[in-house]
A and B are shown apart, each in its own frame.
Chain A
Amino acid sequence: MSNKRIDLELITSLVDRETRVLDIGCGNGELLDSLKRKRKVIGQGLELKQERVNQCVARGLSAIQGDADKDLGLYPNQSFDCVILSQTIQATGQPKLILTELIRIGKKAIVSIPNFGYWKIRLSLAINGKMPVTKKLAHNWHDTPNIHLCTILDFINLCKELNIKIEKTIILSSNKTKSYNGIPNKFSNLFSEEAIFLIKS
């Protein structure tokens, strides 16, 4: 199973059955499709690239073209049971604003991030002196869409600052996962490649 698939599986496991879900940055609808089949959710997708929106619609999903940085304002308060932002927050212009929007729109939100505090990334920067390029973060510094990378610790601190409650965290590294109620232990910032947070206001 690829890393991406595991990510989707884990997010799916956090979503309640037969609820209304908004997937921000839904891509070609892989996650929404899985949620629809396994969790019988009523799903909506928001995606920047029109081509991917069209792919979603062609596979029977509801999706609209839109920009997470500009278009979240159009959704009313608490209009979804769950809002998902999978591997997207690092590519947005205003992560702080988006986090507050997520828990305004959704009764809960699921955010997954690539962890820039992972030891391989730290080591790569320390040894090579160049911006790390990894499997998960495969772009060069000059062409990356990931303009707001953060570590697990950074994310936890931002949630604290915004009074956002972290209900659950799942950390991933080389296909191993570990689940925590609340925030993960302090080593996870060094040893996990990715984290999935379940947050609430």
Chain B
Amino acid sequence: MTFEQNTLPCSYFTEKKPLLLENGTSIDELTVAYESYGKLNKNKSNAIIVCHALSGDQFLASKNPITNKDGWWDRMVGPGKPIDTERYFVICANVLGGCIGSTGPTSIDPKTNEAYGLSFPVITISDMVNAQIRLINHLGIEKLLSVIGGSMGGMQVLEWAASYPDRLHSAIPIATSSRHTAQNIAFHELGRQAIMADPDWNNGNYIKLGTSPTKGLSIARMTAHVTYLSEASLTKKFGRRLQDKKEISFGFDADFQIESYLRHQGLTFVDRFDANSYLYITRAMDYFDLEKTHGKSLTEIFEKTKTRFLIASFTGDWLYPPSENLMIVRALSAGGVDVSFVNIESDKGHDAFLLDEPEFDGAMTGFLDAVSKEIKV
């Protein structure tokens, strides 16, 4: 599925100034599709950017026009919620390389007047952040109150804090890592191979040829989805229960509820996501290695930074486990950085950061409140 630019009900920012990319090339025309919530105050000091994860989008806390479901972090962002839109001006932008309105492989290449497809340059997490910088420059925001994000969103938060320490007061990386591990890369490779093995992918030219690699993309999503859960949550939710039948079928239909659930997850994903975009974004995550990009150790990158950090991990998250997050905490502590760390007890896997975890909400509320008071929002 692809979405034409400027067709979804959200805000757009377009700039015809080349965006230089980490790989040395550039994008001539940048569009960023974004949503915002709450009001920017007079001195523009109450702005927060929330960075979305791999399959997320700009519909953070408002009805998603594609799925007709609530925003992906509706429980965290809104009036009276931990990221309180009555106090803060909250921005969420579709990432560069995405497929929900921002410039990405489904966009029209102004040079050819055709969709980029695989001629879209390979982008990185820091390219995504540079696109967001353009957006906040456009909005006239000098310094953000906070940059917040989980998973890939957390990688963007780390990159924000590493490259633009003067543009944010605080950073909240959640359930993330300072570099993709071999296991992280391995799961992404499974997804990419599934997409590229689909004959309808047509070497990435499916838009032009009118085909759609739905099978490959849905398998990619099914694989990834399992990594967001945990054995405990799968057992609790599905166990070995059968789907609409009393006995196993001795065949390959979806006998088990978990199979049927995963197939459903895969099928609904293709309605809202583009296969090439999936390749590009997973690649950006795989290439993420803060120390390597900056040519310094984590401690050196953040040494004496004024940015206040709140890092959160979840005990049942095996994709970006507490140990990965703790590594960042240790580096920051060693660098004399003001850092807090909460490790939330949860058996819900990586997805816990999106789900109801009241203790996490308390930490988020308290931290943002303390930062706002400190900078006198």
Q: Which residues of A pack against B, CB within 8 Å? A: 42, 44, 50-51, 53-54, 56-65, 71, 74-76, 79
Give the contacting residue for B308; candidates A51, A53, A62; CB below 8 A. A62
Bound CA span A42–B306, Å: 12
Stretch at the interface among B190-198, B233-241, B364-372: B364-372
CB distance from B303 to the nearest CB of A (A): 10
CB distance from B131 to the nearest CB of A (A): 31
Interface hit among B57-65, B144-152, B283-291, B328-336: B328-336
**B345: interface (CB < 8 Å):** yes
Contacts A42-B338, A57-B367, A62-B308 supplied; 17 other A-B pairs, CB < 8 Å: A50-B343, A50-B345, A51-B359, A54-B362, A54-B363, A57-B310, A57-B363, A58-B365, A59-B366, A60-B366, A61-B340, A63-B340, A64-B333, A64-B339, A64-B340, A74-B334, A76-B336
Shortest distance from the beta carbon of B174 to any chain A beta carbon, whole Å: 13
Can you list 29 A-B pairs with a CB-CB distance of less than 8 A?
A44-B333, A53-B341, A54-B342, A54-B344, A54-B363, A56-B340, A57-B310, A57-B342, A57-B362, A57-B363, A57-B366, A58-B362, A59-B366, A60-B367, A60-B373, A61-B340, A61-B370, A62-B340, A63-B340, A64-B329, A64-B339, A64-B340, A65-B341, A74-B330, A74-B333, A75-B333, A75-B334, A76-B334, A76-B336
In the complex, which residues of chain B have a beta carbon less than 8 angstroms from the beta carbon of A65? 341-343
Report Cα–Cα, A59/B365, bound state, in Å. 9
Bound Cα distance A56, B338 (Å): 14
Q: How far is the CA of A43 from the CA of B338 in the complex (A)?
A: 9
**How near does chain B come to A36, taking the closest CB pair, in angstroms?**
10
Question: What 9 A-B pairs come out closest when comparing CB atoms?
Answer: A60-B370, A58-B366, A58-B362, A64-B341, A57-B363, A62-B340, A57-B340, A74-B330, A74-B334
How far does the alpha carbon of A79 sit from the alpha carbon of B343 in the complex, in Å? 25
A42 CA to B310 CA, complexed, in Å: 16
Chain B minimum-CB-distance residue to A76: B334
Q: Which residues of B contact A76 (CB under 8 A)?
A: 334, 336
Interface string of B294-324 (1 = CB under 8 A from A): 0000000000000010100000000000000
Q: Which of chain B's residues have a CB closer than 8 A to the CB of A57?
A: 310, 340, 342, 362-363, 366-367
CB-contact partner of B363 in A58, A74, A79, under 8 A: A58
Q: In the assembly, what is the distance between CA of A65 and CA of B359, in Å?
A: 15
Smallest Cβ-Cβ distance to B341: which chain A residue: A64
CA distance A54 to B310 in the complex (A): 11
* A126 smallest CB distance to B (angstroms): 45
Chain A residues within 8 Å of B330, by CB? 71, 74
Chain A residue nearest in CB terms to B303: A76
- Complex CA gap A59/B345 in Å reads 19
Q: Which of B308, B339, B359 contacts A54 (CB 8 A)?
A: B359
List the A side residues contacting B333 at CB < 8 Å: 44, 64, 74-75
A60 vs B308: C-alpha distance in the bound complex, in angstroms? Answer: 11
Q: In chain A, what residue has the closest Cβ to B360? A: A54
Cα distance A118–B345 in the bound complex, in angstroms: 40
Contacts of B370 in A (CB 8 A): 60-61
Docked complex Cα distance between A64 and B337 (Å): 12
Shortest beta-carbon distance from B329 to chain A in Å: 6
Per-position binary interface string of chain B over residues 271-297, scored 1 when its CB falls under 8 Å from any chain A CB and 0 otherwise: 000000000000000000000000000
